[in-house]
Amino acid sequence: MSYAIDSTCSERRSRGRFLAWAAPVFGLLWLAAPAAAFGSTDPSAWEVALVAAALPGFAYLFLTVAMTQRPPVVPVLAMAALAVALTLAAQDSFALMFVWTAAAAGVRLSGRANAIAVAAITALAAATLALTDPETAVFWGFTSAVAGTGTLWLLIGGLMRSNQELRAARAELADQAVAEERLRVARDLHDLLGHDLSLIALKADLAGKLLPGRVDDARTEVGDIGALTRSALTQVRHVVDGYRRPTLAGELAGARVALAAVGVELRVDGPSAELDPDTDSVLAWAVREGVTNVIRHSGASRLDVTVTPGPESTRLEIADDGRGIASGRSPSRGHGLTGVRERAESIGGTVEAGEGPSGGFRLKVSVPASAAAA
């Protein structure tokens, strides 16, 4: 499949390069018309030498402007000079060269320079033709062709530059989306693994203390470690696949088991009614972060979780009776709280973290009812 996609892209690039070269080369074939008309006039030897030298030079300059990224000003000026020379010295049919000069200036110059260049080349073509004293139809035909073709390629050049800017903007947005997705995955992995690995470490320490005197109890703790490890691996796979959406009920049930293992009492106060999926997920992540903080840092003996649905907002409060915030430490720091805040703000909610009224640490999350309904 990958080989087929690469082959298709390669074929498209090859076809694009062929068309990019074929269009200007095919256009230059129109110069055969004034060359044939010139040959039918029985020109002198020096006129033939002039045309033979000037036409390949003009073609080279045109392809340089059309097919490369070199500065176009000098080649365009040289093309205009050759067009003037052949129109005055050889035949007025070579005024067709002004058409390609105007087209090259219109497509490659940008800003106001392209419009000024097309107008100047049109005026130069008209002045040169006036010196050859052609028929009125010839004069206006060539002048109109220069002005019309130059204006057309001026517009085409603007579209080409706009497409380049759009492609660049699309590539930048794609890079930004990739960066945001990496941050999301990193945040979710931190929140998932931080909780489970903390509990695994605690159970490993407990199993070590139980040995060698209480082998059966140590075996139970080791079994729990294996189950937690498998659960963590499963959750990581879900996060990478983008499928996992934790639930408040599931996190509270897991929190009760995890806290009981470290001797912390969990008290839950709130209705059993189902919440909006987005709200439920945000509150579930908040419970996970709060429980992780209690297990790691707080030294608490009790954790209270209160859920308060309301007509305007749904609020979650998590408070423990532990040590609270260490001196000099900001309650807003840490990847876990940052992740909770980002998730809440994504649906219009707010997060407050700090010391509780009776000490300990308190985390408050509020989600507007309108956001939940949306």
Note the pLDDT tens digit of each residue in 225-258.
888 887 777 777 666 655 556 788 888 888 888 8
Return the amino acid letter for 50: L
CA angle 335, 339, 189 (to 5 degrees): 75
Average pLDDT, integer, range 35-47? 78
What one-character-per-residue DSSP string does 333-369 give?
Answer: -SHHHHHHHHHHHHTT-EEEEEE-BTBSEEEEEEEEH
| Most confident listed range (46-55, 184-193, 237-246) | 46-55
pLDDT at 19: 44
Beta bridge partners of 357: 359
Note the pLDDT tens digit of each residue in 275-334.
888 888 889 888 988 888 888 777 788 899 999 988 888 999 999 888 776 544 455 455
Q: How far apart are CA 270 and CA 273, in angstroms?
A: 9
Note the pLDDT tens digit of each residue in 164-182.
888 888 778 767 766 776 7
Provide the token pair at 9. Answer: 């892209």
Please tell me which residue, 268 or 237, carries the higher pLDDT value. 268
Q: How far apart are CA 253 and CA 150, in angstroms?
A: 74
Length of the chain: 374
Ordered alpha helix ranges (H), 90-135:
97-108, 113-132
3-class DSSP assignment, residue 21: helix
Q: In what order do the strands lie in the sheet with 350-355?
A: 265-269, 302-308, 313-320, 361-368, 350-355
Name the DSSP letter for residue 295.
I
pLDDT at 373: 42
pLDDT at 22: 54
Q: How far apart are CA 78 and CA 259, in angstroms?
A: 83
Provide the token pair at 106. Answer: 């219109």
Q: Which of 331, 337, 335, 325 is nearest to 300 (CA)?
A: 325
Note the pLDDT tens digit of each residue in 147-157.
998 888 888 88
CA distance from start to end of the chain: 40
Question: How far is the CA of 317 from the CAs of 268, 292, 338, in angstroms?
Answer: 10, 15, 17
Side-chain half-sphere exposure of 234, counting CA atoms within 13 A: 8
Q: How far apart are CA 118 and CA 106, in angstroms?
A: 6
pLDDT at 154: 85
pLDDT at 317: 93
Domains of the chain: 2-175 (no CATH), 248-374 (3.30.565.10)
